[in-house]
C-alpha cells in the first residue's frame, strides 16, 4: 500500500485530486471560492512580490530535495517582503506539473514551503495547479507595511552607514560543497552541515524589522529627527555586491565598502584564500540577508542589538562609484560593477 | 532596421533588457524595489487570485495571437475578482520564456494584457521574467471588497433565483469557428466576427457590481431586510453547468435550471440544433459571465437594470440535485453532474 502510494503520479489523481491532497497545507476557511479574502490592518500599505522558479533553471530534482526547493522558494519571497520592511500576510502558489511527477514530490514541496511559512505565521491562501511539460513554481507573496516604514532602494543618502544583517558567502559555499564534496576535506562534519544548511534553508530576515523600528523609536526622542530619517535597503539574494550597486544606482549615490568588515562564516578563515572568501561573499548570492543604509548612530545601535554576524560594512558617498577598500592596504582599491549573474537567457 | 528589431529574440537582450522594454506597460512609480506597494481603502478586505497558463495546454501560439492571449489571461483574473464582488487593485505577471521567443511576441502579449486592464483601471504592479523551456504565464490579481459585499459560492439559500449576467455558448462557438471555419457557412461575417470576438476578447463583468449593490441599497429601505441578504455566486469560466454545480455543492443545496431561459447568442437559433446550442451554453466555458443567486425580488430588479442577455435561469431548491427542466416538456428532466472538463492531467 505504501509503495503504491509513493509511486502515484500526478496524472493518476488529476488536478482535483491533487488539490484535495494539498488542502491540508492551507487554512480551511480560505479554500473554495474564485479568490481568497485577506484582512489588512487599518492604515497599512499592501506590498506584493512575485517569483517564478523553473526546474533545471532555478532548481534541480537531482540535487535539491522537494522540501528544500519549497523552503527556498518561500524564503525568497518572504525575504523580498522583509526587504521592503513589510510583514507577511500570505502567499499564493501557482504550480505547473508534468503528469509524471510523483504526488509525493508535490506533497513534500508543500511540506517544505509550509515549514518555512509557519515560522513566520504566513498561510498559503490560494493557488492554481496546471499541466505543464516542465515543473514550474510561481509564488506571489503579500505583506503589509506602515507607509512611514517602507524600505526603498532609492532612499540612501550620503553619509549613511551600510549595514548587513548577517554573514555572506555561506549559501554559495554550501552549494559548492553539495556539488563538489571533495572541496570540504579540511572541514569537519559540523562545519560542512552548517554551510550546506545555509544554502538549503536560508532564513528571511523578517526578525530584524521590529528591532530596527524599536531603535528608531528610541532615537526619535531627539526632536524632529524621526521625520528626517528613512532607511534604504534591499535583500542580498542576488549577492552583496549586487545589492549595494542596486541601492547606489537607485539612490544616485556611491559607496565605499570595507573588505575586512564584511562578515564571513568563521570556517572560511582556515578553508579559503582571502580572494576566494571575498568572491563567495560578494557574488555568491542567496544569503537572503538585508543590506540597509541608515544614519551611523542608528546603525551602531542596530548592529549592537543584533549581535554577531551583523556589521557596518561601509558608507554611502557622493558620486556613483562603488569602491572596495582595504583598510590594511594589502589590496588596491577596486571598483565594483553590476554583476551579470542574473542574466539567464544568454546561456 | 525594422526587420532586425522584429526578429530579435529574448536571448538577444536578456532578462534586464526585456524588463526595460516592458516597463512602459507598468506605472513608473512602482518599478525598482523588491516588491510593489499598493494602497487599500480603509475597511476593505483584500482579495487575491492566481492563474497559471502554459503554452500548448492553455493557449497555442499558432491559433492565438499574443494580444489575445494577453487579453484573455488578464480577463480571466479580473473575472475571478468580479466573482468575489471585488474591485481590482493590480496584477503581477510571472513569465517563463524560452530564449528563442521573439521580443515582439512578449511586447504584444503585454499590449493585449494592458488593453484589457486599462478598461478596468488596473495596473501591472510587478513581475518576474525567467528562462523556461516552455512559455508560461502566471498572473496574480488583487482586489478589494467591502466585507459585507463578498460574493461566496457557499451562500446560496433555498428559494434564491439564479441569475446569469449574459449569453452563454458564444466563446465556445467562436473557438469552433476558429478551429473549423467551414462550420460557419450559414453565418454572415458580422455574426462570425461577434462569436470569434467573444472567444478572443471576453469581458470580465466588473461592470455589474455597482448595479447589484445599488439595487441592494434601494431594497434595504425595507427594515431588517439588508442584513438578511447575501449574494452567492461565481463566474462561468469553466462553464455554466459547472458554476451552478459548484455553487450548489458549496452551499449544500440543489437547483432547477430552466433550459429555455438560458440566454443564447441570437445566431444559435438558425445555426445550431437545440441540443448543440445547449451543449455550448452549459459546457462550453470561458464566457466569463457571473452566475449569481439572490432573492427573486432583487433578481428581477437586477435583470431589468442590466437588460438584454441577462436572465433568471432557475432557482435554488432543497436537496442536492441540479435538474435541467424544460417548461415546454419537449425534453425530459435531466440531472446535471460535475463536468470533468477541467481535469487536464489525464490527457
Distance from CA of A306 to the nearest CA of B (A): 23
Residue A168's pLDDT is 98
- pLDDT exceeds cutoff 80 at A219: no
Per CB-CB distance under 8 Å, the chain B contacts of A154 are 32-33
**What confidence category does residue A173 fall into, taking pLDDT thresholds of 50, 70 and 90?**
very high
Distance from CA of B103 to the nearest CA of A (A): 12
Residue A113: C-alpha distances to residues A174, A276, A347 (Å): 20, 32, 29
The better pLDDT of the pair B7, A222 is held by B7
Per CB-CB distance under 8 Å, the chain A contacts of B134 are 132-134
Per CB-CB distance under 8 Å, the chain A contacts of B80 are 34-35
Per CB-CB distance under 8 Å, the chain B contacts of A39 are 45-46
- Chain B contact probe: residue of A14, A19, A26, A35 with most B CBs at under 10 A: A35
The three grid cell numbers given for residue B132, joined into one nine-digit string = 523556461
Q: Cβ contact (<8 Å) for B35 and A80?
A: yes
The better pLDDT of the pair A63, B104 is held by B104
CATH of A2-146, one of 3.40.50.880, 3.30.530.20, 2.70.98.60, 3.30.1330.10: 3.30.1330.10
Largest Cα–Cα separation, chain A: 70
Residue in chain A lying closest to B347 (CA): A11
Residues of chain B with pLDDT under 70: 1-6, 29-32, 220-229, 338-347
The model's pLDDT over A322-333, given as tens digits with 9 standing for 90+, comes to 999 999 999 899
> What CA–CA distance (Å, rounded) separates B222 from B185?
54
Q: Cβ contact (<8 Å) for A49 and B138?
A: no
Provide the CATH number for the domain formed by B151-336 in this structure: 3.90.650.10
Per CB-CB distance under 8 Å, the chain A contacts of B99 are 345-347
> What CA–CA distance (Å, rounded) separates B149 from A296?
49
Can you list the alpha helix ranges (DSSP code H) found in chain B?
A: 2-6, 10-22, 66-83, 103-119, 170-179, 189-200, 208-219, 225-228, 240-251, 274-283, 296-306
- pLDDT exceeds cutoff 80 at A318: yes
Residue B347's pLDDT is 32
Task: Say if CB B123 and CB B31 are below 8 A apart.
Answer: no
Residue A340's pLDDT is 42
**What confidence category does residue A343 fall into, taking pLDDT thresholds of 50, 70 and 90?**
very low
* DSSP code per residue over A79-143: HHHHHTTPEEEEEEEEEEE-TTSBHHHHHHHHHHHHHHHHHTT--EEEEEEEE-SS-EEEEEEEE
- Chain A contact probe: residue of B14, B18, B35 with most A CBs at under 10 A: B35
Distance from CA of B263 to the nearest CA of A (A): 23
Q: Cβ contact (<8 Å) for B344 and A138?
A: no
CATH of B2-148, one of 3.40.50.1950, 3.40.50.720, 3.30.1330.10, 2.60.120.10: 3.30.1330.10
Domain ranges of chain B: 2-148, 151-336
A34: nearest CB among B45, B49, B54: B49
Query: Identical fold at B2-148 and B151-336?
Result: no
Largest Cα–Cα separation, chain B: 70
What does the angle CA B86 – CA A138 – CA B52 come to, to the nearest 5 degrees?
Answer: 60
The model's pLDDT over A202-214, given as tens digits with 9 standing for 90+, comes to 999 999 999 999 9
Q: What residues contact residue B156 under an 8 Å CB cut-off, 6+ apart?
A: B232, B247, B248, B250, B251, B253, B293, B316
Q: Cβ contact (<8 Å) for B131 and A54?
A: yes
Residue A234's pLDDT is 96
Residue A182's pLDDT is 94
Per CB-CB distance under 8 Å, the chain B contacts of A11 are 345-346
**What confidence category does residue A224 fall into, taking pLDDT thresholds of 50, 70 and 90?**
low
> What CA–CA distance (Å, rounded) separates B312 from B261?
7
CA end-to-end span of chain B? 44
The model's pLDDT over A71-80, given as tens digits with 9 standing for 90+, comes to 999 999 999 9
Measured from the Cβ of residue A213, the count of other Cβ atoms closer than 10 Å reads 15
Handedness of CA A277, A281, A283, A288 (dihedral sign): positive
Distance from CA of B239 to the nearest CA of A (A): 14
* DSSP code per residue over B195-232: HHHHHHS---GGGHHHHHHHHHHHHTTSTTHHHH---E
Phi and psi at residue B117, to the nearest 5°: -65, -40
> What CA–CA distance (Å, rounded) separates A281 from A241?
8
> What CA–CA distance (Å, rounded) separates B119 from B97?
27
Would you mind telling me the total number of residues written for chain B in this entry? 347
Q: For residues A227-242, give the mean pLDDT.
A: 87
Q: Where are the beta strands (DSSP E) in A273-338?
A: 290-294, 311-317, 322-325, 334-336
Residue A298: C-alpha distances to residues A302, A305, A307, B242 (Å): 6, 11, 14, 58
Residue in chain B lying closest to A339 (CA): B16
Residue B62's pLDDT is 84
> What CA–CA distance (Å, rounded) separates B190 from B198?
12
Q: What residues contact residue A273 under an 8 Å CB cut-off, 6+ apart?
A: none
The model's pLDDT over A5-24, given as tens digits with 9 standing for 90+, comes to 668 999 998 888 888 888 88
CA end-to-end span of chain A? 44
> What CA–CA distance (Å, rounded) separates B57 from B102?
20
Residue A25's pLDDT is 85
Instruction: Report ipTM for this prediction.
Output: 0.87
Per CB-CB distance under 8 Å, the chain A contacts of B343 are 14-16
Q: Where are the beta strands (DSSP E) in A254-330?
A: 254-258, 290-294, 311-317, 322-325
Residue in chain A lying closest to B54 (CA): A132
> What CA–CA distance (Å, rounded) separates B153 from B310?
20
Amino acid at each position: 500500500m505504501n509503495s503504491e502510494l509513493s509511486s502515484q503520479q500526478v496524472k493518476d489523481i488529476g488536478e482535483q485530486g491533487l488539490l484535495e491532497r494539498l488542502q491540508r497545507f492551507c487554512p480551511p476557511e480560505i479554500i473554495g471560492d474564485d479568490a481568497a479574502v485577506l484582512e489588512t490592518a487599518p492604515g497599512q500599505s499592501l506590498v506584493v512580490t512575485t517569483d517564478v522558479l523553473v526546474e533545471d533553471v532555478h532548481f534541480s530534482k537531482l540535487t535539491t530535495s522537494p522540501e528544500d526547493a519549497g523552503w527556498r522558494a518561500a524564503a525568497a519571497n518572504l525575504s523580498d517582503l522583509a526587504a521592503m520592511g513589510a510583514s507577511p500576510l500570505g502567499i499564493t502558489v501557482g504550480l505547473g506539473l508534468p503528469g509524471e511527477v510523483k504526488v509525493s514530490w508535490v506533497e513534500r514541496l508543500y511540506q517544505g514551503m509550509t515549514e518555512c511559512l509557519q515560522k513566520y505565521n504566513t498561510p498559503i491562501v490560494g493557488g492554481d495547479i496546471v499541466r505543464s511539460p516542465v515543473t514550474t513554481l510561481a509564488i506571489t507573496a503579500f505583506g503589509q507595511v506602515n507607509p512611514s516604514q517602507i524600505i526603498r532602494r532609492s532612499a540612501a543618502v550620503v553619509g549613511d552607514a551600510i549595514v548587513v544583517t548577517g554573514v555572506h558567502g555561506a549559501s554559495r559555499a554550501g552549494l559548492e560543497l553539495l556539488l563538489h564534496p571533495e572541496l570540504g576535506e579540511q572541514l569537519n562534519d559540523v562545519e560542512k552541515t552548517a554551510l550546506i544548511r545555509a544554502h538549503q534553508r536560508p532564513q528571511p530576515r523578517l526578525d530584524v524589522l521590529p528591532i530596527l523600528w524599536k531603535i528608531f523609536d528610541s532615537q526619535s526622542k531627539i526632536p524632529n529627527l524621526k521625520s528626517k530619517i528613512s532607511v534604504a535597503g534591499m535583500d542580498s539574494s542576488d549577492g552583496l555586491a549586487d545589492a549595494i550597486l542596486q541601492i547606489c544606482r537607485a539612490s544616485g549615490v556611491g559607496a565605499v565598502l570595507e573588505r575586512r568588515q564584511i562578515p564571513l562564516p568563521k570556517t572560511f578563515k582556515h578553508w579559503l584564500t582571502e580572494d576566494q572568501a571575498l568572491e563567495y561573499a560578494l557574488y555568491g548570492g542567496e544569503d537572503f540577508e538585508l543590506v540597509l543604509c541608515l544614519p551611523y548612530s542608528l546603525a551602531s545601535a542596530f548592529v549592537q542589538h543584533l549581535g554577531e554576524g551583523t556589521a557596518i560594512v561601509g558608507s554611502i558617498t557622493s558620486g556613483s562609484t562603488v569602491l572596495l577598500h582595504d583598510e590594511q592596504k594589502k589590496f588596491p582599491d577596486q571598483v565594483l560593477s553590476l554583476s551579470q549573474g542574473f542574466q539567464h537567457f544568454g546561456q
